Amino acid sequence: MKTTCHSEYLKLQSVYLKSAKKAFVSDIHLSEQWRDLNYLSRPDFDAAIAEYESFQNCLINKDVSLRFFPFDEQVKIDSIYCRDASIATNFGLIICNMGKEARLSEPLAQRKIYIANDQKILGVIKSPGTLEGGDVAWLDEKTLAVGHTYRTNKEGIKQLKEMLEPKGVEVIVAELPHYKGVEDVFHLMSILSPVDKDLAVVYSPLMPISFRNELINRGFELVEVPDEEFESMGCNVLAVAPRECIMVEGNPITKKRLEDFGCEVQVYKGNEISVKGGGGPTCLTRPLERLL
C-alpha cells in the first residue's frame, strides 16, 4: 500500500488532531484567551465538545486513523487549529514558525510529539522567516502552492523552497491581498480547497488573477463560493477522498455546487470550534498520509 503526504484530496489514511477538550480546556480558559486571540466571541466549552465529537465522527465514518496532540500548558486555545504549526511532506515534517505571535509555542509543542512518535523532521522554519500551514496546499504530487500573507513572509517562503526544490517539488507563490489586515486570520486555504485532482473550491474575489489562471491552466474546474458564504467558512473544505468532503454546516449554496460536481458532502455544526475562531475543517486537521 503506497501512500503520500503530497495531496489534499486522495484517500486520507492518517491525521493528527487537537481535540476541543485538550485545546479549550474549560470555560474559564476560554474566557481568559478569546479576546486576545481575536475570536468573534467566546466559544462555549460544552457546545464545543459536542461539535468536535460530530466533526471527529465525520473522519471516523471514512475510516481515517486518528492521532492526537495532548494538552500542553505552553500553547493556547488556537492550538485546536493544528494544521498551521507544521507541513507534512514525503521527506519528513517541516516545523513552521508562526506569523501570529500568540501561537509561537505551537510548532515546538508539535515537534515534541512527532519526535516521541519517531516521525522524521525534514527541517524547521527559522526566524525571521514565518510560515503557517494554512498558507500551504498541495496541487499535485510535485507542486506546492504557498500564500505570501501577513502570516507567511518572503523569508519563510525562501526557506521552504530551499528545503523542497532540491527534492523536485515546484513551489508556486500566491501573493494574497491585505484584506482585513495584520490581525485577521487570512490564509491561502481561506480561499482555496482542492477536493480532487481537477476540482477546487475557491473564493475568487480574493484570489490573485495569476494564481487563479494557474489553477485553470492546470486543468482545475472551480467551485465558486458566493459572497454570503465566505465568512461562514464556505471555502474551507476538507477532502477525505476524491470528491468526498467535510464542511461546516450553514453553507447550502456551496454544498449544492459541490454536489452538482458529483461530490459527497458531510457537514458538522461548527459555530464554536470553527466560525468563532476562523478555522474550518482543514484548519482542525494536520493530515499525514493519503493513499496513492
**Does pLDDT of 56 surpass 90?**
yes
C-alpha cell at 68: 492526537
Q: β-strand 86-89 against 92-95: which pairing, if any?
A: antiparallel
Name residue 93's beta-bridge partners.
Answer: 88, 121
**Does pLDDT of 120 surpass 90?**
yes
Contact between 227 and 208 (Cβ < 8 Å): no
* Phi, psi dihedrals of residue 272, rounded to the nearest 5°: -85, -40
Residue 33's closest CA among 72, 75, 76, 79? 76
Residues 204-249: tens digit of each pLDDT? 999 999 999 999 999 999 999 999 999 999 999 999 999 999 999 9
Residues 237-288: tens digit of each pLDDT? 999 999 999 999 999 999 999 999 999 999 999 999 999 999 999 999 999 9
C-alpha cell at 198: 481537477
What letters, b where the CB count within 10 A reaches 16 and e where it falls short, cover 100-115?
Answer: beebbbbbebbbebbe
Residue 86's closest CA among 72, 96, 77, 74? 96
Q: β-strand 14-17 against 65-68: which pairing, if any?
A: parallel
**How open is the CA angle 84-30-117, to the nearest 5 degrees?**
40
Is the CATH number of domain 3-11+74-266+279-291 3.75.10.10? yes
What is the overall mean pLDDT for the chain?
A: 97
Burial of 176: CB neighbours in 10 Å, binned 0-12, 13-18, 19+: buried
Domain boundaries, the chain: 3-11+74-266+279-291
CB neighbours of residue 231 within 10 Å: 11
Q: What is the pLDDT of residue 155?
A: 98
**Does pLDDT of 48 surpass 90?**
yes
Residues 167-198: tens digit of each pLDDT? 999 999 999 999 988 878 789 999 999 999 99
Q: Could you give the percent of the chain with pLDDT greater than 70?
A: 100
Contact between 134 and 145 (Cβ < 8 Å): no
Contact between 45 and 276 (Cβ < 8 Å): no
Q: β-strand 264-268 against 244-248: which pairing, if any?
A: parallel
Distances (CA, A) of 37 to 30, 34, 103, 183, 282: 10, 5, 9, 9, 19
Q: Would the CA dihedral through 241, 246, 252, 254 be positive or negative?
A: negative
**Does pLDDT of 118 surpass 90?**
yes
The pTM of this model reads 0.97
